[in-house]
Structure 1
Amino acid sequence: MHNLGRFTLYVTAFVVTVSLVEAFVLARKARQQGKAYPWHEIGMSLADLVGRKLFALLPLSLATPVFSFAWQHRIFTVEINSALAVLLLFVGQEFCYYWYHRASHRIRFFWATHAVHHSPNELTLGTAYRLGWTGKITGTAIFFAPLVWLGVRPEVVLAALSLNLLYQFWLHTTWIPKLGWFEYVFNTPSAHRVHHASNVDYLDANYGGVLIIFDRLFGTYIEECADEPCRYGLVKPTTTHNPLVNQFEHWVGLLRDVANAGSVANAIGYLVMPPGWAPDGGGETTESLRRQARGERVGV
């Protein structure tokens, strides 16, 4: 455990250092073009990182009881002691991650946390570690519990997830081009730029962590197009420089809608339906925004 803590510290230091180097390079380029670099974006990502480290000290995680229950009722005991076992764990974890990530975009309760990751209006390496403070208490561990139920030790599942997220660090860039055949199997900066884009045609796509094959399999893959430059941030851009507002504005909006729902069914709808959903059908979900965009294109 001591070695794991030291490894985590080294990885965190590496990630922050590289993101700051990128920020200084981008800031220099911005100055040469007579533009101001948005340093507050890096500042809010660092505030997010510090906040999550502090929250980790509190016994609030739902992963512990969920994983404990799954482990107690496991149907096998899987030892990760061969190349085949590692491969199966990798693919299984990637499958679970795909559905976790997809649910984080399509279920508003989970989106209230995940929206923080998509709030930067510039895509940089600093975006990679802005993940939201409330992830530990939203129960997303249920998406990875099947691996524990099948017999993979909880600590191994969490380690695999950590490595998955570490891979994704380099994806949060605008300066790495498309990578040829690599794009067909693996998640790349190009695919992830689409994922972070708020263009209507790019919304809710490319959920994979390391692989992109499940997006291709389940119909959520969208390729980055040269004639459709990515516009980063949320559909309704976040303009605050206040980390507290950044972290909780979507929770406040969700709780307000639930409180004013008018019925239990509507309240549940606000929690489990996609962001932008409204009981009268007049909301701004991805589907409704695309219908509106298609109507505008044909002049309806």
Structure 2
Amino acid sequence: MLKAAFDPVQLAIPFFVLAIILEILLGRFGKAKANYETRDTAMSLSMGFGSTVAGLLLGSVIFATTVWIWNHRIFTIPMTAIWAWVVLFLLEDLTYYWFHRLAHERRIWWASHVNHHTSTHYNLSTALRQTWTGGVAGTWLLWLPLTFLGFPPAMVAIQKGVSLVYQFWIHTEAIKRMPLWFEAVFNTPSHHRVHHARNARYLDANYAGILIIWDKMFGTFIPEVDEEPCSYGTVKNLGNFNILHNVFHEWVGIAKDVAASPRHALGYIFGPPGWSHDGSRDTSHTLKAKWRARVEAESGDQAGVGAP
């Protein structure tokens, strides 16, 4: 009940490799949309390997903390009960939604998550750009309440792995849309392309893991529209393939901001990405506001054309 008998992510690695190779081949032969760039793909693969190493380094601390929480649990939920897996599926997916949303809305967690968004391409290899510093940032703490409720740590670990495996296939441009009923309930390539887009229209949206219903419930869902294709990367793309810069640049940025303005340290650490004490920088909120104002102005101009 403490350690999972298997790791869904590890079992899926051969599938990941074969799927990436297949997507590359389909793209090369013009059978599917698949943009790959050698240095970018190498970066994604290196980040995936580094994330695994980072996870091992902090694994004992996370495991020990989880075991302590388990020893003080409220209930004991059986791993053999089907209802328990259904409930855990929903609760873990909801937990992922809030983790993911906070990872975009709070700079300290964005610093650990941003490397997943640094690629200017969107393909299956992008899914491998996983965090190196999430353990240090404490993102794993959000899952501890599940263990405190009484879900065995092994059970939670398996469900987290299932979620990650699911999210692999949605990192693609090869699939345009799934059936309407599927798009309405589940996270899909179309929904997740929006999440990875740097267009002002699409910022801060579609945080779902498996179920897109959470975004619809909490007002963060934005559909992909054909008239505005997704442009990928971060608001200000890094423009290099230096892996250390990709992984740590936002942490360095936080340190510089705090050193330059210690009175506003809390804002620079826990405020939204782009926050500044003098308002001189753009956040996602201000970028979207500017976009809306521009759209409204253009609509007004068009409405006025030909008016008497």
Q: TM-score, normalised by structure 2?
A: 0.88
Determine what percentage of the aligned residue pairs are the same residue: 40
The residue number in structure 2 matching 1:12 is 13
1:255 equivalent to 2:242? Answer no
The one-letter code sitting in structure 1 at the alignment partner of 2:268 is: Y
Q: Answer whether contact 1:70 1:149 (CA < 8 A) is retained.
A: yes
Post-superposition shift, 1:163? Answer: 0.6
Question: Residues 89-108 of structure 1 correspond to what in structure 2 (within 5 A)?
Answer: 89-108=88-107
Classify 1:27/1:245 alpha carbon distance in 2 versus 1 (closer, same or farther; 3 Å): farther
How far off its partner does 1:129 sit?
Answer: 1.0
- 1:145 alignment counterpart: 144
1:268 maps to a residue whose letter is L
Name the CA shift for 1:72/1:169 in 2 (closer, same or farther; >3 Å).
same
Equivalent residue for 2:305?
Answer: none
1:64 Cα deviation (Å)?
A: 2.7
Amino acid of the structure 1 residue aligned with 2:262: G
Aligned partners of 1:257 and 1:270 also within 8 Å: yes
| Aligned residues of 1:172 and 1:192 also touching (Cα < 8 A) | yes
Name stretches of at least 5 consecutive residues in structure 1 with no aligned partner. none
Question: Counterpart in 1 of 2:122?
Answer: 123
- Shifted more, 18-27 versus 91-100: the winner is 18-27
Amino acid in the other structure paired with 1:283: R
- 1:222: Cα distance to partner? 0.5
Structure 1 residue 268: Cα displacement: 1.1
- Provide the C-alpha distance between the structure 2 equivalents of 1:131 and 1:12, rounded to a whole number of angstroms: 14
Alpha-carbon displacement from aligned partner over 1:33-67 (angstroms, at most 9, x marks no partner): 9xx95111110011112212222332466533442
- Whether the aligned pair in 1 keeps the contact of 2:203 and 2:288 (CA below 8 Å) is no
Counterpart of 1:56 in structure 2: which amino acid? G
1:280 equivalent to 2:273? Answer no
Which amino acid letter does the alignment assign opposite residue 151 of structure 2? V
Distance 2:259 2:60 in 1: 25
Task: Decide whether aligned partners of structure 1 residues 60 and 292 sit closer, same or farther in structure 2, where only a CA change above 3 A counts.
Answer: same
TM-score normalized with structure 1 length: 0.90
Specify whether residues 4 and 81 from structure 1 end up closer, same or farther in structure 2 by C-alpha distance, changes over 3 A only: closer
SS of alignment partner, residue 119 of structure 2: coil
Aligned residues: CA RMSD: 2.3
Question: Aligned in 2, Cα 1:107/1:133: closer, same or farther, shift over 3 Å?
Answer: same
Q: Distance in 2 between matches of 1:37 and 1:150?
A: 44
Give 2:72's aligned amino acid: H
- Tell me the residue number matched to 1:161: 160
Query: CA 1:69–1:284 in 2, change beyond 3 Å: closer, same or farther?
Result: farther
Instruction: Please give the alpha-carbon distance, in whole angstroms, between the structure 2 residues aligned to 1:10 and 1:148.
Output: 24
Letter in 1 for 2:269: L
| Structure 2: runs of 5+ lacking an equivalent | 299-308
Counterpart mapping for 1:132-211 below 5 A: 132-179=131-178, 180-211=180-211
What is the rounded CA distance, in whole Å, between the counterparts of 1:8 and 1:165 in structure 2? 7
In 2, the alpha carbon distance for the partners of 1:8 and 1:195 equals 22
Q: CA contact under 8 A between 1:44 and 1:241: conserved in structure 2?
A: yes
Q: Tell me the residue number matched to 1:88.
A: 87
Asked whether the equivalents of residues 9 and 161 of structure 2 are also in contact (C-alpha less than 8 Å), the reply is: no
Is 1:200–1:290's contact at 8 Å kept on the other side of the alignment?
Answer: yes
1:170-227 CA deviation, whole Å, 9 max, x = no partner? 1001121222111111111110010111110101111110101111000001111111
Q: 1:251 and 1:24, CA in 2 relative to 1: closer, same or farther beyond 3 A?
A: farther
Residue aligning to 1:112: 111
Counterpart of 1:54?
53
List aligned pairs for 1:69-84, cutoff 5 A: 69-84=68-83
Write the distance in 2 (CA, Å) between the matches of 1:137 and 1:146.
19
